[in-house]
Amino acid sequence: MKTWTGTGVSEGIVSGPLWIYLPARYEVPRRAGCDPEAEWQRVLSALEKVKTNIAALRERAGQSVGEAEAAIFDAHRMFLEDPELLEDIQRRLQEEGINAEAAVQDAGQNFAQMMLALEDAYFRERAQDVQDVIQQVIRALLGLDQSGQSPLQPAIILAEELTPSDTIQFERSVILGLVTMRGGPTSHAAILARSLGVPAVVSVPFEWADLHSGQPAILDGNRGTLTVDPDPNTLAKAEQSGAVYRARQKALLESAQAPTVTRDGLRVEVVANIGSVEDAVQAVRYGAEGVGLFRTEFLYMGQNALLSEEQQIAAYREVFHILSPRPVVVRTLDIGGDKDIPYLGLQREQNPFLGWRGIRMISERPDLISGQFRALLQAGVDVDLRIMIPMVSSLQEITQARELFEQTRIELMKQGLPCAEQVQFGIMVEVPSIALVAEHAAKLVDFFSIGTNDLTQYTLAVDRGNERVASLASPFHPAVLQLIARTVRAAHSAGKWCGLCGEMAGDPLAAPFLLGIGLDEFSASPALIPALKETLRKLDASQCRPIAEACLTLSSPEEVQERLRKIAG
């Protein structure tokens, strides 16, 4: 028996035989003195072949795993049509007189390198997509078969890494789980596994010499481990926990689409935190009734320049379309000194969390915020759109942001462009100062959403990114609880609603307190939603009120947690 630990990127525990996936390898021939025009024609016809193949794979993916994964093939097609890549291939043919295969390989490598040099992990992982389509073009040029292989019976698939065109060849019903030596949480193995609901572990430092197809194995996506040749005892335990996990997930998922009503009949809204198109798909799958926090940072990271207005509109539309007709709270850019976006010219700061962050950029870069308002208002026609401002610490910032929002709206209408009507305007309450003047702030907004991740860090003076002080960062600290309760009360007194989108919302232990203070909306990571809904359904809101009051009188996070654990039983 041998166990390796990697990163669990999709939950679940399975046992079964390993099946090792080895993509076919071949030598790319290299010749000089070729006719550039004839070679270019070969490239064009290979590109056509690959595009046809991609279209077929896309259709198959759309039917078997859904649009999220199918969209990857749209990206593949876009790479094949990228003018920079095509020009580079043509230039190499003309200047170097090399054959089509060699020019495609060199230009493809160059393109992938460019993506690898980007800051954002998501875009670095897309470099693998470029390599994948380039391999397909070379195979087409070499006249090699494009179709692949798949295990014949259910197996845990193990590979060095998996590209979308590798994974699409696998018959879905035989995938028990996925293990790769490379990749991160946004790798295709992870995306595929999550959409299929099977476990996946990536970045596993296994040795090929220790493994062979057919070998019995256990894959634990919760712990992030791969065990081969398990002893009977370990195997029996894994099978039992796997069965318990699957039964629980199945039951939770079955009731996930139903509304959340507490035992005493109170309807509670449970929505999702998302940061990408894939998250939006997951949110719907896990029963989110909407989105309580759409982090828009991903639109700004990993590129060399700001997206054009059209590109922004298209990106928002894609997410809105997936979630339609659910309400979506979109948070404007929350980027600051701690995240480096070269084209924004951010300065290094000694205390980035206390620095030029979120709405604080409104005086120097109002264009960034109004640009986002413009795109959102145009993309959000017919959407239950709510816009939210991060990092607010004063009333003046709210007034300034609202003015800019109204100006943007008027400008769009003057230009005769589409413009969403009835958009709610809210703020994140994540800085103690704004929580303490919440009564005043509530008059200036339509809603609040409490960001307990930052509210905890700022209230307790604990850097949320510093491992050494992590144990001090508890949202159960009565000081944080007082601010949360005060914010909800202030919203309600002004007739406004209040949500909570920090990690605390997804913690079942916090549910009785949050329900007890009358929180209107819980916004959590999509995968946590089914269990959260179940927890809330078991609670009685009227019984939670005195419990919440009691928590507010306690003096330490430990006392609060202990009090809440008693209710959880």
Q: Which residues bind ligand PEP (CB under 6 A)?
A: 293, 295, 334, 430, 451-454, 501-502
Q: Does 371 engage in binding with Mg ion (CB under 5 A)?
A: no
Nearer to ligand PEP, 72 or 484 (CB): 484
Could you say which of ligand PEP, Mg ion, none residue 276 binds, taking C-beta under 5 to 8 angstroms by partner kind? none
Q: List, by residue number, the catalytic residues.
A: 188, 501
In the complex, minimum distance from the CB of residue 92 to ligand PEP, in angstroms, rounded to a whole number: 44
In the complex, minimum distance from the CB of residue 425 to ligand PEP, in angstroms, rounded to a whole number: 18
Could you say which of Mg ion, ligand PEP, none residue 370 binds, taking C-beta under 5 to 8 angstroms by partner kind? none
In the complex, minimum distance from the CB of residue 119 to ligand PEP, in angstroms, rounded to a whole number: 18
Nearer to ligand PEP, 138 or 501 (CB): 501
The amino acid occupying position 365 is R
Which residue has the closest beta carbon to Mg ion?
454
Could you say which of ligand PEP, Mg ion, none residue 293 binds, taking C-beta under 5 to 8 angstroms by partner kind? ligand PEP
Could you say which of ligand PEP, Mg ion, none residue 163 binds, taking C-beta under 5 to 8 angstroms by partner kind? none
Q: In whole angstroms, what is the distance from residue 34 CA to residue 38 CA?
A: 8
| DSSP code, position 289 | S
Q: In whole angstroms, what is the distance from residue 564 CA to residue 516 CA?
A: 12
Nearer to ligand PEP, 177 or 502 (CB): 502
- What token pair was written down for 284? 């719907």
> Given phi > 0 = left and psi -120 to 50 = alpha, else beta, which region is 519?
beta
Contact 303, 114 (CB under 8 A): no
Question: Which residues inside 418-477 make contact with Mg ion, applying CB under 5 A?
Answer: 430, 451, 454
Distances (CA, A) of 467 to 105, 214, 462, 464, 470: 43, 41, 10, 8, 5
Burial class (CB in 10 A: 0-12, 13-18, 19+), 380: buried
Could you say which of Mg ion, ligand PEP, none residue 328 binds, taking C-beta under 5 to 8 angstroms by partner kind? none
From residue 108 to residue 127, what is the string marking binding to Mg ion with x (rule CB under 5 A)?
--------------------
In the complex, minimum distance from the CB of residue 404 to ligand PEP, in angstroms, rounded to a whole number: 21
Nearer to Mg ion, 358 or 530 (CB): 358
In the complex, minimum distance from the CB of residue 99 to ligand PEP, in angstroms, rounded to a whole number: 50
N-to-C CA span, the chain: 38
The amino acid occupying position 246 is R
CA angle 374, 379, 383 (to 5 degrees): 120
Alpha helices in 142-187 (DSSP H): 164-167
Could you say which of Mg ion, ligand PEP, none residue 408 binds, taking C-beta under 5 to 8 angstroms by partner kind? none
Which residue has the closest beta carbon to ligand PEP?
451
Residue for token digits 């590798």? Answer: 166
Burial class (CB in 10 A: 0-12, 13-18, 19+), 567: middle
Nearer to ligand PEP, 204 or 274 (CB): 274
Nearer to Mg ion, 106 or 454 (CB): 454
In the complex, minimum distance from the CB of residue 458 to ligand PEP, in angstroms, rounded to a whole number: 9
Among residues 438, 425, 315, the alpha carbon closest in space to that of 378 is found at: 315
Task: Give contact residues for Mg ion (rule: CB under 5 A).
Answer: 430, 451, 454
